[in-house]
Amino acid sequence: MDLLTHGASLADLQDYVAKMEVERGLDHLAVDSQCLKLGEEVGELFRAVRKANGDPADPHGRVVDIGEERANVLILVASIANRKGIDLEAAFRAKEAKNNYRTWI
């Protein structure tokens, strides 16, 4: 499978994740399983941020990279959206249209 091209759109990324999961045999996993994995990956992202900020952490824990953990979170968000038939770009645009009418401060 070809790698995702530089400057790819959100739709391209979502399509790439769908194809990648088929290629790796992950496309059969249920949405609840992917949601649980997303929770794990968010936790790993938090741990990476804590370590980067110098907060106390398990000195024997594996070293985690903030960029890699963010990528894992993004992959799982796309995976969940694919399983539920959600166009992430359309969902993002719809949510931002609503947010434009919110009071933020």
pLDDT at 95 (0 to 100): 96
**102 pLDDT above the threshold of 80:** yes
For residue 37, what pLDDT is reported?
97
Domains of the chain with CATH codes: 10-99 (1.10.287.1080)
Nearest to 11 by CA among 68, 87, 94, 86: 87
Cα dihedral across residues 67, 68, 69, 75: positive or negative: positive
Mean pLDDT on 2-29? 95
- Residues 38-91: tens digit of each pLDDT: 999 999 999 889 888 888 767 676 777 899 999 999 999 999 999 999 999 999
pTM attached to this predicted model = 0.89
